[in-house]
Structure 1
Amino acid sequence: MENLIPFTSIELGKITNHRSGEIKFGEKILTVPSGVHPVDFITHSKAKFVLFGIPEDIGVRANFGRPGAATAWESAIKSIANIQHNRFCKGNQLLLLGALDVKEELKKAENLDFLNTEDRKTFSSLVEKIDKEVSHIVFTIIKAGKIPIIIGGGHNNAYGNIKGTALAKGKPINAVNLDAHSDFRILEGRHSGNGFSYAFDDGFLKKYFIYGLHESYTSKNVLMRLKDLEDRVRFNTYDEISIRKVKNFEQELNQALTFIKNEPFGIEIDLDSLPNIASSAMTPSGFSVEQARQFVHHFGQHPNAAYLHICEGAPDLGEDKNPQLIGKLIGYLMTDFVKAKSILEG
């Protein structure tokens, strides 16, 4: 984990708003002490969940998207530190590992032009480098018997999450993705739009369910490919659930869970599936925040839920007056997952 920037207890204290009569997550979340090997500390820690960030938007840029996802981690951790530690959710269930060091990659990507063929190759190689780091961290956390909660970056990071989990489990895993897009595009070089197709092609992803696909933003070629693979890749659409109402939200949650539950699975949340949430591909129409929270709770309760990934949030693209909203939303989704797992354990 040499490419990880650890988050210290001192840094955690600085972003925690202490108030008399209250206990905040920032006062209870565990951090790796200075001089202690991270893997040893993770392994022997009583915390069940390990939280780490990926502050990058290179995969988004490589997909001709708007940058901004690199700042989601900073926004999220500030909000998470100030969640109340109480009987509903306890901060000491979390170990705050830190964030992937991507400063060098971000610098190299800064002046790249998506329209330039050679620059696109460079984008792809940078994403591949991040893939390796993410998969290594996720592998290490799961092998230590913990559950990763991954925050930030583009949806390109689904590949590293899936690969790392599959290697740790010793077999391909499944995934469920709340998303307006399939992220199952052609293998044209790595970017945020093909993390799942690469994981599938490389043998790390066994079954994949896309929940809430937006019909008007899914290409004919992708739909044809999904049809060809329907024994292993299935989807429903936002339009048939919330507009035409030919399918029911809760029933579809059960259908999706039935499809993936027999193997370890990852829970992927793309914030561009929610209306007016700042992201590279913002939408004015989509599932509500409450439905996203229900989604996390529903799948998080299952014993085979192996990780949670919340991505594509871009605070820099949001309102100047409320820059904390993305971080607060991520905090809600994260605690919903932790609570769901706690219910599972009784």
Structure 2
Amino acid sequence: MEKLIPFTINDLAKVTNYRCGEIKFGEKMMTVPKDADIISFLKSCESKYVLFGIPEDIGVRANFGRPGAASAWESAIKSIANIQHNRFCKGSQLLVLGHLDVVEEMAAVENLDFNDNNDRKKLSQLVEQIDKEVSHIIFNIVKAGKTPIIIGGGHNNSYGNIKGTALAKGKPINAINFDAHSDFRILEGRHSGNGFSYAYEEGFLKKYFIFGLHENYTSKSVLDTLKKIDDRVQFNTYDEINIRKQKNFEQEMVQAFEFIKDDFYGIEIDLDAIPNIASSAMTMSGFSVEELRQFVYYFSQNQNVSYIHICEGAPDLSEDKNNHLIGKLIGYLVTDFMKANLHS
């Protein structure tokens, strides 16, 4: 795992705001000791969950999106470190592994133009490099018997999460994706809009449910593709749940769960499904934060949950005064996941 930049005990101290009479997550979360073998430590440590950051937005750029998702990891770890350690949720259940080293790749895309075909090929090739590193790290976390909590980057990283988990489990896995978009677009070179279609095509993704598609932003060709494979890929739309009220939010969660529950599955959360959350594809209409938290809690209450990935949030695109709020939201989702999953 040479592309991993480990998070140290000193890093943790820098982001934790100590206060007399309180215990913060940052005082209880674990890190890998400086001279320890990472894989051996993963296997032996008591923490059930492993926090891993991907500070990139190359897949977003390759998909004509606005960069900014690279900033989510730093914002999230600051918020998570300052959550209260108490009887409801304990920081000691969390090992902060670190983040992917993408400094060279991010520098390489600085002057690339996604409207130029040659530049788009370069962007896709860089996404493929990141795919390999993400899948390798996720494989090692899952193989060690831990549950990854993956923060940041574009939704291109769903591919590496699915592949790494499937390889560790020795079979294809399922996925539930809370998203305004299918991310099941054509295989035209890797980007943030086709992580699931590539994972499906290559045999790592068995069943896939998309929760809350936005009808206005799903192409006819994607809908036609999904119709042909509806034994393995299903969806509902935000419009039929919250606008036309043809379907019920709670009942739809039950149906989606029935579809994926019989095998190991990953939970994918795209923050662009929530109104006014700064992201590459920001929306004004969508599910509420409370509905998202209920969704995370509901799908985390099962022993087949293999990881959660929270992506596409872009604090760098927020107003300066409120750019900490995305990290705070990610902190809520992380603890909702842990609270639900710990005793499953």
Counterpart of 2:196, as a letter, is F
Deviation at 1:142, TM superposition (A): 0.5
Q: Hey, what does 1:267 align to over in structure 2?
A: 267
Quote the Cα distance in structure 2 between the aligned partners of 1:319 and 1:266: 32
The DSSP-based 3-state class of the residue aligned with 1:321 is helix
Quote the Cα distance in structure 1 between the aligned partners of 2:84 and 2:60: 33
**CA deviation profile, 1:82-105 (whole Å, cap 9, x unmatched):** 000000000000000000000011
Q: Hey, what does 1:65 align to over in structure 2?
A: 65
Matched, 1:141 2:141: yes
Quote the Cα distance in structure 2 between the aligned partners of 1:124 and 1:15: 34
Aligned Cα root-mean-square deviation (Å) = 0.5
Quote the Cα distance in structure 1 between the aligned partners of 2:32 and 2:68: 28
Q: How does 1:24-39 map to 2 (within 5 A)?
A: 24-39=24-39
Q: Hey, what does 1:164 align to over in structure 2?
A: 164
Q: How does 1:189-208 map to 2 (within 5 A)?
A: 189-208=189-208
Q: Hey, what does 1:97 align to over in structure 2?
A: 97
Counterpart of 2:36, as a letter, is V
Quote the Cα distance in structure 2 between the aligned partners of 1:250 and 1:83: 28
Q: Hey, what does 1:231 align to over in structure 2?
A: 231
Deviation at 1:322, TM superposition (A): 1.1
Counterpart of 1:19, as a letter, is R
Q: Hey, what does 1:10 align to over in structure 2?
A: 10
Deviation at 1:320, TM superposition (A): 1.0
Deviation at 1:343, TM superposition (A): 3.7
Quote the Cα distance in structure 1 between the aligned partners of 2:218 and 2:64: 16
Counterpart of 1:140, as a letter, is N
Deviation at 1:44, TM superposition (A): 0.2
Quote the Cα distance in structure 2 between the aligned partners of 1:304 and 1:257: 11
**CA deviation profile, 1:58-96 (whole Å, cap 9, x unmatched):** 000000000000000000000000000000000000000
| Identical counterparts, % of pairs | 73
Q: Hey, what does 1:54 align to over in structure 2?
A: 54
Quote the Cα distance in structure 2 between the aligned partners of 1:107 and 1:147: 31
Q: How does 1:260-339 map to 2 (within 5 A)?
A: 260-339=260-339
Quote the Cα distance in structure 2 between the aligned partners of 1:161 and 1:123: 20
Q: Hey, what does 1:122 align to over in structure 2?
A: 122
Quote the Cα distance in structure 1 between the aligned partners of 2:293 and 2:316: 23
**Gapped runs of 5+ residues in structure 2?**
none
Quote the Cα distance in structure 1 between the aligned partners of 2:165 and 2:110: 30
The DSSP-based 3-state class of the residue aligned with 1:10 is helix
**Gapped runs of 5+ residues in structure 1?**
none
Deviation at 1:176, TM superposition (A): 0.2
Matched, 1:219 2:215: no
Quote the Cα distance in structure 2 between the aligned partners of 1:103 and 1:196: 25
**CA deviation profile, 1:273-325 (whole Å, cap 9, x unmatched):** 00000100000000000110111101100110100000000001111111110
The DSSP-based 3-state class of the residue aligned with 1:293 is helix
Q: Hey, what does 2:44 align to over in structure 1?
A: 44
For normalisation by structure 2, the TM-score amounts to: 1.00
The DSSP-based 3-state class of the residue aligned with 1:67 is coil
Quote the Cα distance in structure 1 between the aligned partners of 2:208 and 2:80: 29
Deviation at 1:42, TM superposition (A): 0.7
**CA deviation profile, 1:196-239 (whole Å, cap 9, x unmatched):** 00000000000000000000000000000010110000000000
Deviation at 1:342, TM superposition (A): 2.0
Q: Which moved more, 1:33-42 or 1:264-273?
A: 33-42
Matched, 1:182 2:182: yes
